[in-house]
Amino acid sequence: MKIKFKFTLAISIILIAFSLILNILIRQVLVYNMENSISRSMEDIMKSSREYVKYRLMVNDKLSDDDILKNDASYISKYISLNYESNSKVMDMQGNILNNDDSNESMGGESKLIANAKKGEAVVKIKYIKDNVQGDMVFPVYINSRYLGIIYLNKSYSDILVTYKNTINTITIIQIIILVIILATSFLITAKITKPVSDLTNAVKKVGEGIYDINIRVNSKDEVGILSMEFINMKEKICNQINTIKNEKEKVEKLEKARRDFFNNVTHELKTPLTAISGYAELLLEGIVTDSDFKNRALERIYSESERLHSLVLELIDISKGISFIEEDVEDIDMKLLISEICDDMSIKAKKYSLEIEQKVSKGTIPGRINKIRELLINILDNAIKYSVGSSPILIKTYIKENFYIIEVVNKGELIPGEVYNNIFQPFTKGSDVREDSRGLGLYICSEIVRMHNGKISIENGEIITANIELPLSGNNLETSL
């Protein structure tokens, strides 16, 4: 059962119980007032009747008091009945009925009342008969210091009972209406109060099911509102942790794939020259080949493949240095001076390809490791030279933007294939139309050097190839172990 129904049920039980108790108390108060009203009415009749009997005694002063009561009993009875809309009987002190019209009527039901009247007591009895209420009263006639007789009254108070019932019905209806209004209001208020709790419960269930794309509106600053805010913070932290775990998992998977590819490529690159060296060496050792020209070619091939293997080993060492960086002093590097020196050196190679290097270099100083920055720029320019098409000059320009020293190396080339471009900074990535023997490690080393200096590197693909390098002028985290 939902909490709002529990609250509503509890409030309903309390209100219904309170309404019933209140209704019973009101009924008792009204009955008490009604009976008091009946008693007062009959007391008034008693007083008036006594006065009338005294009046009759004064008018008929020739007769004794006892004789007057006997002679005027019927008249007194009719007077009381007509004036007070009641039934009455006049009796002597022994309880004998004196008015002739009712002389044969039994008074058995009022015997107890008459017995009290004989003792000089006035007694009122209220009795309920079906849809009517009647008042019985018996009182002695006490005049001139002596009891002359007893008068019995019976009067119907149905009009008072009707008023009482109408009042009770009205009060009950009002109570029911008020109860319904209170219950409806309490239900709405309870629903409003418990809605955040219900929303929070549903949200907890969804989070338990792994659904985190949920929103909770917090419109209050009470305990429920604070709990909702804490839940939202907890959910966001869980989301962030899960996203972090997913990202780390993807990174691990990517690194694992890169590791497998790296070692597969290394194995392949090492196996190729070793196979050639081993094959030619085996031929020479076994003396199968006697041709001196072939022997010379074999020796030259063994030498060239050895050099190739040596270069590959050196590049692998460089990669190892890039991954686990050997400490080098950090210094302020004059980038304009360094780039000018490198361009002058690389111009010699560019001329072999009928190319020129143009410079538009601005002043700038960055903190860094000069040998690594030099290696970075040489690799970028070397790629621009090797992959340029035609005789268009290679442009290197620099400028400062938002606390970064920006280096752009632009050359005209051919569109880089998508498969190569998407993995261009991965080790052993190379195209099929290179001018020189390449193992696809240069740009990978460049990316590692840039990352060491907290910079960014990217390649813009197209007929015009642009290498973009961003190196921060300040805030380098060069002590980070990579």
User: In this structure, what CATH number is given to the domain that contains residue 247?
Assistant: 1.10.287.130
pLDDT band at 328 (very low <50, low <70, confident <90, very high): low
206 occurs within a structural domain: no
pLDDT value at residue 99: 74
- Total number of domains constituting the chain: 3
Do 39 and 131 reside in the same domain of the chain?
yes
Dihedrals φ, ψ of 97, to 5°?
A: -75, 130
Give the residue from 127, 131, 87 showing the smallest Cα distance to 107.
Answer: 87
Check residue 413 and give its pLDDT.
86
Report which of residues 2 and 234 the model is more confident about. Answer: 234
Which residue did the predictor score with more confidence, 261 or 350? 350
Q: Is 339 exposed, middle or buried (0-12, 13-18, 19+ CB in 10 A)?
A: buried
Are 35 and 145 in the same domain? yes
Q: Read off the tokens for 65.
A: 């008091």
Q: Is residue 207 part of a domain?
A: no
**Looking at the domain assignment, is residue 468 inside a domain?**
yes
Copy the structure tokens of residue 450: 């840039």
Claim to verify: residue 385 and residue 411 sit in the same structural domain:
yes
Domain end (from 266, 293, 324): 324
CA distances from 82 to 72, 77, 78, 340 (A): 15, 9, 6, 140
pLDDT of residue 318: 64
Domain membership of residue 436 as a residue range = 327-472
pLDDT for the residue 116? 83
Stated length of the chain: 482
Question: Sign (positive/negative) of CA torsion 392, 393, 399, 402?
Answer: positive
Say what the pLDDT of residue 142 is: 80
pLDDT at 381 over 70: yes
| Domain end point (choices 324, 347, 368) | 324
Q: Kindly indicate the confidence band of residue 6, based on its pLDDT and cuts at 50, 70 and 90.
A: confident
142-191 pLDDT per residue, tens = 877 778 888 888 888 888 888 888 998 999 999 899 888 988 888 888 77
Last residue of a domain, one of 302, 324, 346: 324
Q: Which of 32-41, 59-68, 113-122, 384-393 has the lowest mean pLDDT?
A: 59-68
179 found inside a domain: no
116 and 62 in one domain?
yes
382, pLDDT greater than 80:
yes
* Predicted pLDDT of residue 104: 42
Residue 99 falls inside a structural domain:
yes
In a shared domain, residues 336 and 443: yes
| 246 and 376 co-located in one domain | no
Whole-number Cα distances in Å, 353 to 8, 375, 393: 91, 21, 11
Mean pLDDT to the nearest integer, 218-237: 75
Which of 87-91, 204-208, 337-341, 444-448 comes out lowest in average pLDDT? 204-208
Cβ atoms of residues 296 and 359 within 8 Å: no
Question: And the tokens for 415?
Answer: 């569109």
In a domain, 180, yes or no: no
| Co-location of 275 and 126 in the same domain | no
Same domain? 158 vs 236:
no
Rounded average pLDDT over 451-474? 89
336 & 463 share domain: yes
Residue 139: pLDDT above 80? yes
Residue labelled with tokens 């938002």: 402
Confidence at residue 480, expressed as pLDDT on a 0 to 100 scale? 38
- 5 neighbors 199 (Cβ within 8 angstroms): no
Return the pLDDT at 275: 74
Q: 343 and 418 share a domain? A: yes
Q: How far apart are CA 156 and CA 139, in angstroms?
A: 18
pTM of the model as a whole: 0.44
203 assigned to some structural domain: no
The CATH number that applies at residue 135 is 3.30.450.20
Burial 250-282 (b: 16+ CB within 10 A, else e): eeeeeeeeeeeebeebbeebeeebeebbeebee
pLDDT value at 325 more than 60: no
49 and 109, same domain (yes or no): yes
Q: Give tens-digit pLDDT for 187-227.
A: 888 777 777 777 777 777 777 777 767 777 766 677 777 77
| Residue 63 forms part of a structural domain | yes
Average pLDDT over residues 343-355: 86
Alpha carbons 402 and 456: distance in angstroms, whole number: 14
In a shared domain, residues 259 and 365: no
